[in-house]
């Protein structure tokens, strides 16, 4: 399919040269010399790309671009000029120009960039359409299509759809279920989804983490659940790998309903939530063989955000809506297309938690109705760490942990051997692994 | 056998998870099998035979072995072999670790040039496949076999290797 290009240059000779270049590359070209006329034509015609001169008598290329970006922000723009200061180029690019080419023109670079910009715009348009469908059709339609409610992922990507379906199929697990995810995974929300699979009010979920998990606490929470006429209790153990040795042993006992928990007289199930690969956790000695086998009975891996690219922007928008509700604001802010695209392309090493922090940061800057790319990038940077020094330190720290983990695995989880290898003591090794 | 405890744990965990994921076993049945498996793991005398597969097939009778073998053939297209029909013994320039064979219910039964023919009951358990392929430099043609054929094969192999060792010592 031939794409259409609008060329604006008051220099008739150069305009004709540009027209020839694009026509020979099979584009459908409209060439104009007057910016006001070009603006009118642009408003009434669909173009895939605009090429404009920068220096024109009545209106500069930058001004022209600003006007057309108000009309159709999704159409990419290339600027050509005889001379331009670096600062001007920088400000044009940050203002939304897709490419700046100085005369004499490198024709091949310009045509390559044209292809890239048009492809990128098409992809953005496609994402926007699926994003709009996701937001506009509403949760009710999705629940109807899927057959069950699911809120922790918008389920636009195959990985999250598969995950939701697997979880739904396992919802009636009898004794244990393990959720294994990367750091920053939204385990609690996922467990709330499992709870919402049941319409029955008598399913009761209790949440326990290293700070709140002891026998007394569990027994008292179960008793409380019984007061609410619970017919079954599901204990969610968050961050199993970070629990103390005693808590891990208690987790095994709890899941089997023996020992101190023998007196519990209603059906009880356990969901183990762990950050990290089970094998690695076992090799590092962070879970014992009992837990290792127990957690493997029904094990579900939570997809990382980077594996659910189509979910990210929708998830971010849902977070915006939550914040708006929380703050009692009246207008709903929406991410502009380039911001959504940017969000989708990030690796999100700390998954949901990092996305949540970034969105919160964006919203705290009182961004108005349109959440711009610049607000998102600066929020992400400050969420990631403010200074380059801190970023490097974090990178080195991660590398250090990786090396200690790898050595621990190779040395069979023996902390003394690992400590000897690094010429340090076991406390340091223990702290690093933790 | 203790040195292979991690492999035994891992291979059985993977096998259990696989069977549940593929709908060949329920989570509740796996729970029961795991209970027995963990008892065996903790007992030095039982460790040699610690296997959820044995438990599921013979103790709890919760798994149909014919269905399991059909699944392996259909899903992975590997062949089946009856080790009772195979002459077992040591392989050229390969030192067989019998305890590893017991631990993983696996026997390399033939070698053609640099390629090994290996029979296993644990083809569905990735750690077993990975461990042996690493050990044999990846040149492996896999065969599935029944648990009965494997147990008998392991006992025979034990006898054959002992006899070979006795002959070798006699020669010295």
* Secondary structure string (H, E, C) spanning B29-92: HHHHHHHHHHHHHHCCCCHHHCCHHHHHHHHCCCCCHHHHHHHHHHHHCCEECCHHHCCCCCEC
Q: Is the pLDDT of residue B71 over 90?
A: yes
CA atoms in the 13 A half-sphere facing the CB of A5 = 28
Neighbours of B156 (CB within 10 A): 17
All residues of chain A having their beta carbon less than 8 Å from the beta carbon of residue B30 are 297-298
For residues A337 and A301, is the Cβ–Cβ distance under 8 A?
no
Starting at the edge strand found earlier in the chain, the sheet holding A49-53 runs A28-32, A4-8, A49-53, A77-81, A99-102
B80-132 tens-digit pLDDT: 999 999 888 888 777 888 889 998 999 999 999 889 999 999 999 999 999 99
Q: Token digits for A302?
A: 């939570």
Neighbours of A299 (CB within 10 A): 21
CA distance A431 to chain B (A): 24
CA distance B16 to chain A (A): 7
All residues of chain B having their beta carbon less than 8 Å from the beta carbon of residue A282 are 6, 9-10
Separation between Cα atoms, residue A48 and residue B75, nearest integer Å = 48
Q: Is the pLDDT of residue A238 over 70?
A: yes
A58-100 tens-digit pLDDT: 888 888 988 888 788 788 999 998 877 777 887 787 777 888 8
Q: B79-171: what fold?
A: GMP Synthetase; Chain A, domain 3 (3.30.300)
Q: Is A301 helix (H, G, I), strand (E, B) or coil?
A: strand
Task: Give burial (CB, 10 Å; 0-12/13-18/19+) of A279.
Answer: middle
Q: Which of the residues A173, A296, A413, A414 would you substitute to probe the B interface, choosing the one with the greatest number of B C-beta atoms within 10 Å?
A: A296
CB contact under 8 A, A297 and B17: yes
pLDDT of residue A386: 47
Q: Is the pLDDT of residue A125 over 70?
A: yes
All residues of chain B having their beta carbon less than 8 Å from the beta carbon of residue A289 are 9, 38, 41
CB contact under 8 A, B31 and A173: no
Separation between Cα atoms, residue B36 and residue B34, nearest integer Å = 5
Task: Give burial (CB, 10 Å; 0-12/13-18/19+) of A328.
Answer: exposed
CB contact under 8 A, B27 and A297: yes
Closest Cβ–Cβ partner in A173, A282, A296 for B17: A296
Touching B: A residues 261-280, CB under 8 Å: 278-279
- Identify the bridge partners of residue A299 per DSSP, sorted by sequence position: A178
CA distance B13 to chain A (A): 6
A261-304 tens-digit pLDDT: 999 999 999 999 999 888 888 888 888 888 888 887 778 999 99
Q: Is B3 helix (H, G, I), strand (E, B) or coil?
A: helix
pLDDT of residue B67: 92
Cβ within 8 Å of residue B130, ≥6 positions away: none
pLDDT of residue B92: 76
Q: Is the pLDDT of residue A112 over 60?
A: yes
Touching B: A residues 367-406, CB under 8 Å: none
Separation between Cα atoms, residue A25 and residue A64, nearest integer Å = 25
CA distance B133 to chain A (A): 19
User: Interhelix angle for A337-345 vs A373-384, to 10°?
Assistant: 30
Q: Which of A386, A333, A395 is nearest to A360 (CA)?
A: A333
Q: In the structure, what pLDDT confidence band is assigned to residue A130 with cuts at 50, 70 and 90?
A: low
Helix H segments across A81-106? 86-94
All residues of chain A having their beta carbon less than 8 Å from the beta carbon of residue B43 are none
Q: Which of the residues B3, B11, B14, B17 would you substitute to probe the A interface, choosing the one with the greatest number of A C-beta atoms within 10 Å?
A: B17
CA distance A311 to chain B (A): 25
Q: In the structure, what pLDDT confidence band is assigned to residue A333 with cuts at 50, 70 and 90?
A: confident
Which sequence spans correspond to the domains of chain B?
2-63, 79-171
CB contact under 8 A, A296 and B38: no
Separation between Cα atoms, residue A110 and residue A80, nearest integer Å = 10
pLDDT of residue B2: 65
pTM of the model: 0.65
């Amino acid at each position: 399919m031939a794409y259409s290009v609008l060329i604006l240059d008051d220099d008739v000779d150069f305009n004709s040269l540009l027209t020839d270049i694009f026509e020979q590359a099979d584009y459908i070209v409209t060439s104009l010399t007057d910016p006001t006329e070009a603006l009118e034509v642009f408003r009434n015609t669909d173009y895939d790309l605009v090429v404009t001169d920068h220096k024109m008598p009545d209106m500069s290329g930058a001004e022209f671009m600003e006007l057309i970006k108000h009309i159709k922000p999704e159409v990419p723009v290339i600027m050509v000029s005889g001379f331009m200061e670096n600062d001007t180029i920088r400000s044009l690019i940050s203002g939304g120009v897709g490419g700046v080419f100085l005369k004499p023109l490198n024709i091949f670079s310009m045509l390559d960039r044209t292809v890239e910009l048009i492809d990128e715009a098409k992809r953005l348009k496609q994402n926007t359409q699926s994003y709009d469908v996701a937001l506009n059709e509403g949760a009710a339609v999705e629940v109807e299509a899927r057959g069950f409610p699911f809120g922790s992922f918008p389920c636009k990507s195959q990985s999250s759809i598969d995950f939701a379906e697997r979880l739904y199929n396992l919802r009636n697990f009898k004794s244990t279920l393990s959720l294994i995810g990367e750091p920053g995974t939204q385990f609690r929300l996922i467990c709330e989804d499992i709870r919402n699979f049941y319409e029955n009010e008598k399913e009761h979920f209790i949440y326990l983490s290293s700070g709140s998990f002891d026998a007394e606490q569990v027994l008292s929470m179960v008793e409380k659940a019984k007061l609410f006429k619970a017919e079954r209790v599901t204990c969610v153990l968050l961050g199993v790998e970070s629990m103390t040795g005693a808590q891990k042993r208690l987790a095994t006992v709890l899941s089997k309903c023996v020992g101190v928990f023998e007196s519990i007289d209603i059906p009880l199930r356990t969901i183990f939530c762990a950050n990290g690969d089970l094998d690695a956790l076992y090799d590092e000695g962070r879970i014992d063989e009992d837990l290792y086998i127990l957690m493997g009975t029904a094990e579900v891996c939570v997809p990382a955000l980077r594996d659910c690219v189509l979910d990210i922007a929708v998830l971010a928008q849902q977070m915006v809506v939550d914040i708006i509700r929380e703050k009692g604001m009246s207008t709903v802010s929406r991410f502009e297309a380039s911001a959504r695209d940017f969000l989708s392309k990030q690796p999100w090493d700390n998954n949901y938690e990092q996305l949540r922090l970034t969105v919160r940061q964006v919203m705290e800057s009182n961004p108005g109705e349109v959440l711009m790319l610049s607000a998102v990038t600066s929020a992400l940077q400050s969420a990631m760490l403010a200074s380059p020094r801190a970023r490097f330190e974090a990178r080195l720290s991660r590398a250090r942990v990786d090396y200690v983990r790898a050595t621990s695995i190779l040395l069979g989880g023996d902390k003394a051997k690992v400590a000897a290898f690094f010429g340090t003591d076991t406390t340091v090794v223990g702290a690093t692994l933790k | 056998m203790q040195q292979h405890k991690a492999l035994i744990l891992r291979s059985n965990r993977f096998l259990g998870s696989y069977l549940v994921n593929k709908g060949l076993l329920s989570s509740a049945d796996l729970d029961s099998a795991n209970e027995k498996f963990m008892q065996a793991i903790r007992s030095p005398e039982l460790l040699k035979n610690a296997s959820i597969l044995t438990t599921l097939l013979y103790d709890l009778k919760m798994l149909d072995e014919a269905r399991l073998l059909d699944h392996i053939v259909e899903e992975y297209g590997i062949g089946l072999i009856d080790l009772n029909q195979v002459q077992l013994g040591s392989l050229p320039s390969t030192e067989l670790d019998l305890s590893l064979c017991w631990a993983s219910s696996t026997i390399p039964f033939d070698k053609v040039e640099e390629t090994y023919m290996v029979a296993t009951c644990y083809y569905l358990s990735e750690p077993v496949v990975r461990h042996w392929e690493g050990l044999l430099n990846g040149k492996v043609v896999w065969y599935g076999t029944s648990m009965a054929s494997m147990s008998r094969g392991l006992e025979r192999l034990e006898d054959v290797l002992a006899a070979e060792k006795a002959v070798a010592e006699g020669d010295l």
